[in-house]
Structure 1
C-alpha cells in the first residue's frame, strides 16, 4: 500500500505585491498529483514553480482557489494545524543544504532533532540510522562534524532530515542545483529510493533537464499556468479549465498570434490542424 499522499489544486491563484503593484505568480492552477508519483516542476525563472511548491508545503496561503494535501485543505488550516501537517505529513528540502541543517549537530543528530516534535506527539518514526541508510548516507560519516562533509553528502543529509518522520509528501526546491553531476545523481537516487521503499510522493522544482528526465512525470509552468506535461519523455499540451491550450515556445514560433487551427476528431484522438494561409505571417 502506498505511503504517499495525493495533492490536488483547483483554480489556484497567488498574488503578491511588488513595487506597489499586484503581480500574479499563479493564475489558476488545476493539477492532480497521485499518491506515490515522482514529479518535476519545470519552467523559466519567475514562472511560479517555487511559489507552487511553497503552497504545497503550507509555507504560504493562496490568494484564491483550493489546495488539498491528502485530506487537508491547506488554506483552511490554522497556523498550529499547518505546523502539525508539516511536522508529520510534508517534508521539504529548501534550496541550499545549509538552510535545512543545524551546523553544530552531526548527521545523526540532525535527523534525531527533526524527529523530536513527532516523537513528543507519540508518532512512530524510524530510527536515525534507518533514515540515513535509506538515502545512502555513509554510516562512517554519521557522527562526523558537518563542516567536513562534501556538498553532496550535505544534500543527502538534507533529504534525510526532510523524510525523517516518514512524510507522505516530499518537496524539493532545486535539490541538486549546487552539485556536480556525480553528486546530483546520488541525490536523485536517494529521492527514488524514498519513493520506491516508502511510497512517498515526490515533487521537485528544477531547471536541470537531466533531473527532469529522471522523473516519470514533468509539469511545465509558464506565466503562472500549467503550460505542458511530460510523460516518459513525451510532451503534451494541457487544456486549462477555461478551455485554453497554452502552447510551448517552439510551437508558438511556428504558430504566431492570429494563426487559425482546426480541431477535429481522429478516432480516439483530437487533432489540431493549421489552416494554410491563415495567421498574421
Structure 2
C-alpha cells in the first residue's frame, strides 16, 4: 500500500509540475493551498507495454486513482498519445509540518515557499517520458527570491519554457509566501528620517561654529562674508598734502659768488 501511494504521489508530482512529453498550464500558490490548471500530453504507454505492474505514467493521471481537490478530464490527443487536464487545488504544508501530499516537493518555512524537483523527474525513467516541450507559469503570493535556470522571473511569477534546462538542472524556486512585509518599509523610512535629521544637525553645528570663530582663529570653510561688508565701496587712496614752495628772492646778491664782493 505504501509503495502504491509512493508511486501515486510521484506520478502526481510529475503530472502536476512539469512532467510528460509536453506540458502547458498554470500553477498558482497561495498561503494555504496551490491551484492547478495544467494539461499533460505524451505517448500512450499502452501502445508499448501492458499495464499490469507497468510504471505509473500520465495515462494513470486520468485513470482510476484520485487526489483530493483535483479533477481529471481526458483531453483529445493525436493517435498514440494521451492527454489529461488537471484542475483544482491541493493543500500546502503548514509552516514546518509534513501534513500534505506535496510535502518534499513544496515546503513552507520561515515565511518562504520552497519548490524543489530534481532533474530525474523530467528525464526518461521509471515514471515519466522525457520532457520535450513546456510552457508553465508559476505564480506565488510574494516576490520570487531565486529560481533555477530555464525560467524567466518577473516579480512574483516564474514562466518556465526551456525543457533542456529543466531536464539538466531540475526546477527549484524560492519565493515569499506573502507580499512585501510593511515592517521592512517602516524600518527603511525610520532609517531615512534618522539619517536626514543627523545631517541637518551636523550642518547647523558647523554653521554655529563658523559664526563663533574668534579673530585669531581660522575661519571655517562654511563661514560667510558679512552682509554689510559686501555693501562697502572700495577704499580710495588719497595723496598726502605737501607744503608750498617759497617764492624766489628778489635780492641780486643771493645768486652772486662770494669772491665778487668789493673789498
Structure holding more helix per residue: 1
Q: TM-score surpassing 0.5?
A: no
What TM-score, normalized to structure 2? 0.25
Greater gyration radius = 2
What TM-score, normalized to structure 1? 0.24
Higher relative contact order (CA 8 A, sep 6+): 1
